[in-house]
Amino acid sequence: VLSDSLNDPTFSGELPPCVNHSLKLGGRFKPLMTELTLEALSYLFLELRPGGSYTPDTCMAREKTAIIIPFRDRPSHLHVLLLNLIPLLKRQNIDFTLFVIEQELPGPFNRGLLHNAGFIEASKLGDYNCFIFHDVDLIPINDLNFYHCNDNPTHFISGLNKFKYKLLYPTMFGGVVSFTDDQFRQINGASNLYFGWGGEDDDLSKRVENRGLKRLRKYPSIGLYDMILHGRDSTNIPNPTRFELLKTTRERQGVDGLSSAKYSLLSTDSLPLYTRLRISINMTE
């Protein structure tokens, strides 16, 4: 017979804080480029809660992280990213939710506005204090590239396969970047005015600098990514106005950004591995 004292135990203390030097981490690895279906992936990652959330169960994570993935029409890239990113985040003991923010066709892609919409909508769904904006075609290949926020906005990429594991210019700030909630508000988010390819990440870089923040970057041997090879996206042509726009970043920053992001939220779907946010953007507004 079980004694009564066993029925109602009290935990002897709290979970210990998660530490960086987890025994599960393996350094640099070769990513798996296999394109699985979402169904197959969801069987691989049964421990994720609906909507794509995960909380380590053996330690207390240091922050609550929203991974925001701007997306349009590239399911195979998304599936390769999930196959590699989810295990990495688990090995790093990150408390995360994956958000895929999808812009409806037609019309040119607006990556900056998707950052703002993803930030605003994710913040309504949970009390996230760290936001990592993540391109769908960039696969991290080093376990020691921690998906944490820092005391300043951080560029996670120090080298990309297509640039021979280097960057093109020092102020590059695209692809994968982190902001705390406060840092993103402090710079009034991203510009909403860049339609099509290019420049919006350079604008973001200047916004960080203009508000007296530093850009941090991952250590060269750690911030390594493989870009999934693809041709140029015919629906996302280079934006001819990007050079002109970049001249006025400072003047626009207070009035063009989080404070002025206009979009319609079409649906919020809690899928097995991510929360899908579909939005439409009216280009003439």
Least Cβ distance, residue 45 to ligand BGN (angstroms): 30
Alpha carbons 42 and 270: distance in angstroms, whole number = 13
Least Cβ distance, residue 174 to ligand BGN (angstroms): 4
127 is catalytic: no
* Catalytic option among 232, 251, 283, 285: 232
Binding mask 224-253 for ligand BGN (x = CB under 6 A): ------------------xx----------
Alpha carbons 193 and 112: distance in angstroms, whole number = 8
Task: Give the contacts of 258 (CB within 8 A, at least 6 positions apart).
Answer: 116, 119, 120, 184, 185, 188, 189, 190
Nearer to ligand BGN among residue 65 and residue 192 (C-beta): 192
Check binding of 70 to ligand BGN (CB under 6 A): no
227 is catalytic: yes
Nearer to ligand BGN among residue 53 and residue 154 (C-beta): 154
Instruction: Look up residue 7 and give its two tokens.
Output: 């029925």
| DSSP secondary structure, 75-105, as one string | HHHHHHHHHHHHHHHHHTT-EEEEEEEEEPS
Check binding of 202 to ligand BGN (CB under 6 A): yes
Which residues 118-177 are close enough to bind ligand BGN by CB under 6 A?
A: 168, 174
Task: Give the contacts of 48 (CB within 8 A, at least 6 positions apart).
Answer: 42, 54, 86, 272, 273
Q: Within 10 A of 212 (CB to CB), how many other CB atoms are there?
A: 8
Instruction: Look up residue 153 and give its two tokens.
Output: 């906005």
197 is catalytic: yes
Check binding of 199 to ligand BGN (CB under 6 A): yes
230 is catalytic: yes
* Catalytic option among 201, 202, 226, 256: 201
Residues that bind ligand BGN (CB under 6 A): 168, 174, 198-199, 201-202, 242-243
